[in-house]
Amino acid sequence: MSRQNIVQLHGGAVLAFEEYGDPTGVPVIFCHGWPSSRTMAQLADEPARALGVRIISPDRPGISGSSMQSHRKLSEWPRVVEQLVDDLQIGEFRMLAISGGAPYAYATAVAIPERVRAIAVVGGVIPFAELKDFKGLLPLYRWMLAFYRNRPQLLRRLFYLTRPFLSVRAPIRLRPLLLKMLLLRPCDAASLRDDAAFEAIFESQRRAWRGSAEGVLIDARIYAEPWGFAMEDVRVPVRLWHGTEDRAFAVRLAEQIANRFPNCKARFIQDEGHYSLPIRHIGEILQDLISV
């Protein structure tokens, strides 16, 4: 079961987070994907308990239970993490990032490497601002990036228009239809037929949209802007996991990123996709992370 908490940040903002796994175990900060929220970490609850891992999963500012910060930057996130772990009386910790959580883990490792023992990134987003073209990205991401650069106000309007639909919980009987409509890889669709996995992925997304369309939009903007550091600046041990069938970010893009880290062990898993990899391998990923 999760343990929900609130941390008061400097300036009066609040950070909502939940805990999973073993409350006395090895601390791991979970960086949720996009669009998503803190409950995505349910994926790790059972294996974390078995492995003696304490999962601490915060909502990013403007997402679900955390206060909105309209003009926030990626560079501000490490100080938020530092306030969180200080409040919990944690010294060193590890980080586990899924998809859109990747730059938040990288930024923290660059800013406070003395406290970050290692990071694991699963199906991680790549720095869009460095791309010369958008080949290898999910069509939805290509579309959003084009709108962000050329029609940002229209993109904002579309986010607000879709929020009422995306913040509604899908009835169980309609879930098979939803999976078909998403045009997922067979491996991803099969893994999401598991009720617990479906809840962890889609309920966390619904919570993000239910909280605020503006918060989801601000979170998306972070990916399109320069991150403020190079991959070469990430000097803590990196465990990069990527499925060869990942449709969100082509495996060749992940290979290019992996080669830029000074200390990286990359694992490209055959026949796994963007969703199936963390769903099916989260225990192995956690075990590897705490062994570093």
- pLDDT tens for 205-235 read 999 999 999 999 999 999 999 999 999 999 9
**CATH number of 24's domain:** 3.40.50.1820
- pLDDT tens for 130-183 read 998 899 999 999 999 999 999 999 999 999 999 999 988 878 787 888 888 787
Confidence of residue 94 (pLDDT cuts 50, 70, 90): very high
Tokens 């199936």, residue?
Answer: 276
Structural domains in the chain (count): 1
The pTM (predicted TM-score) of the whole model is: 0.96
Identify the pLDDT of residue 284: 98
pLDDT at 2 over 80: no
In the numeric block, which tokens belong to residue 76?
């501000």
Q: Which domain holds residue 130?
A: 3-291
Confidence of residue 72 (pLDDT cuts 50, 70, 90): very high
Confidence of residue 1 (pLDDT cuts 50, 70, 90): very low
The residue with greater pLDDT, 98 or 70, is 98
- pLDDT tens for 15-66 read 999 999 999 999 999 999 999 999 999 999 999 999 999 999 999 999 999 9
Rounded mean pLDDT of the chain? 95
Please state, in angstroms and rounded to a whole number, the distance separating the CA atoms of residues 44 and 49: 9
**Strand ordering across the sheet containing 3-8:** 3-8, 14-21, 53-58, 26-31, 93-98, 116-122, 238-243, 264-269
DSSP codes, 143-192: HHHHHHHH-HHHHHHHHHHHHHHHTSPPPGGGHHHHHHHTT--HHHHHHT
Tokens 């939940």, residue?
Answer: 18
Please state, in angstroms and rounded to a whole number, the distance separating the CA atoms of residues 264 and 37: 27
Identify the pLDDT of residue 174: 78
